[in-house]
Amino acid sequence: MIEKNSFLIISASGVRGIVGEGLVPEVVVGLAAAFGEIRKGKILVGYDTRTSNEMFKYAVISALLSTGCEVIDLGICPTPSVQLMVRKSGANGGVVITGSHNPAEWNALKFVRSDGLFLFPEEGEELVKVYRERRIKWSRWNGIGKVYRDDTAVEYHIDRIMELVDVDKIKGKNFKVVIDACNGAGSVISPVLLERLGCKTFKINCNISGYFPHLPEPIPDNLQQLCRAVKDYEADIGFAHDIDADRLALVVEGGRAISEEYTLALVTKFVLQKSPGLVVTNVCTSQMIDDIAEQFNCPVKRTRVGDIYVSRCMMDCGAVIGGEGNGGVIFPLINYARDGVMALALLLNYMAEEKESISSIVDKLPRYYRFKNKVKSYKVNLDKLREDLLKKFSSNRVDFTDGVKIWFNEGWVHMRKSGTEPVVRIIGEAKDPEDAEKLSNWALNFIDEFSY
């Protein structure tokens, strides 16, 4: 079956694959038609800048029209702009064609509910079922939908962000900012927003060619060009997005790239000092979040890994801020969705209120040394590992929200089966670099006991 191909992953969170290998128009048409069949009515379609999107947008639109949907083509825009427009327009849903932080050969479809959130896992499973069982009623000649164009998504997104930050205060600072959108969808929004916020803006990699000048994941290793630009232009800060701009990473003045874990930590600190409340993040996001929340006497809830689990918990529990350590900030006053553009504006607002530079703000945050490893998952018996952990550790030191998380005096270790690769990921943190190394070795040895 095509969906078992290693170049294609179909799951409750959508479909992703390598273009022309596993991800071909046939699959895209099938899934988009299943979505049209379930949602019906008005559906918004937006996409990032990938070279494969010209092909896939017609496949998606054709599938939706053929199930009787009315399609609004939003053009190239960030994922959070599509999510916001779905909610605003009262549409029945949205489809985003984006490979997000993945390299250019990848692409994916993400499906949006009428409230602007991604499909909940149970809804995603239903979609896959409809697709696999081919339960689609194709429209006859007189039941086919119509397609309209709407180019206002980016403008609306910018307007909403401007309402939520202190524009005058940011303008008063005349910040010098470098933006690297990796030639992704962020190219059409963040430079415009920065200009409106009165920043002297230096754009690098802000054209929509679909050719990515570096790997798109916004992590320090991929931000060398931005580091140089921040240094050369003597900028106050540099911002980097992934291709659909739901994520944001920073380069501080002088040209130092900081871990993407700092994005959520900084925004959380800024939001909590203005409006204390619940913070929601996933189990493997940095402990910095708990330390910051504690300063303001605020509770933290941790969910499974995956932005939909965070969004859903934030909505259900009334969180004031949340997100993931990969640079994905969810600010509920705009939407329950990761939004790298909103995060950028919040950070400028934070910088405008502080007397210090961004690097001194960062250096005052609690510091953790983080480690990451992975081992082949088909070799690991996770059930047995879990049983053994409960024998070895008291129950308040282990957590099974998603995989296993174990707390030690020196730090923590988290192990979970990856949703995208056949591996168990091991992530952890400690305050001291030597302790981090010890914990990392402990985890590798421990998992080895349960491997065969």
Smallest gap from Cβ 6 to Mg ion, in A, equals 22
Tell me which of 13, 52, 81, 100 is the catalytic residue. Answer: 100
Smallest gap from Cβ 245 to Mg ion, in A, equals 7
Smallest gap from Cβ 102 to Mg ion, in A, equals 9
Q: Is 324 helix (H, G, I), strand (E, B) or coil?
A: strand
- Can you give the binding site for Mg ion, defined by CB under 5 A? 100, 242, 244, 246
Residue in the shown chain whose Cβ atom is closest to Mg ion: 100
Copy the structure tokens of residue 144.
């086919």
HSE-up of residue 434 (Cα within 13 Å, Cβ side):
0
Based on CB atoms, which residue is closest to Mg ion, 242 or 402?
Answer: 242
Question: One-letter amino acid identity for 51?
Answer: T
Smallest gap from Cβ 317 to Mg ion, in A, equals 24
Locate tokens 């009165």: which residue? 198
d(CA 439, CA 450): 17
Based on CB atoms, which residue is closest to Mg ion, 100 or 259?
Answer: 100
Q: DSSP label at 120?
A: P
- Could you tell me where the DSSP H helices lie in 354-414? 358-363, 382-392
Based on CB atoms, which residue is closest to Mg ion, 236 or 246?
Answer: 246
d(CA 427, CA 414): 5
Q: Are 204 and 225 in contact (CB under 8 A)?
A: yes
Smallest gap from Cβ 166 to Mg ion, in A, equals 27
Based on CB atoms, which residue is closest to Mg ion, 246 or 402?
Answer: 246
At residue 151, φ and ψ (nearest 5 deg) are -100, 20
Based on CB atoms, which residue is closest to Mg ion, 36 or 322?
Answer: 322
d(CA 350, CA 321): 15
Catalytic, 100? Answer yes
- Could you tell me where the DSSP H helices lie in 318-432? 340-353, 358-363, 382-392
- Closest by CA position to 263, among listed 274, 277, 252: 252
Q: Are 80 and 94 in contact (CB under 8 A)?
A: no
Smallest gap from Cβ 308 to Mg ion, in A, equals 13
Based on CB atoms, which residue is closest to Mg ion, 190 or 287?
Answer: 190
Locate tokens 């299943």: which residue? 34
Question: Which residues participate in catalysis according to the annotation?
Answer: 100
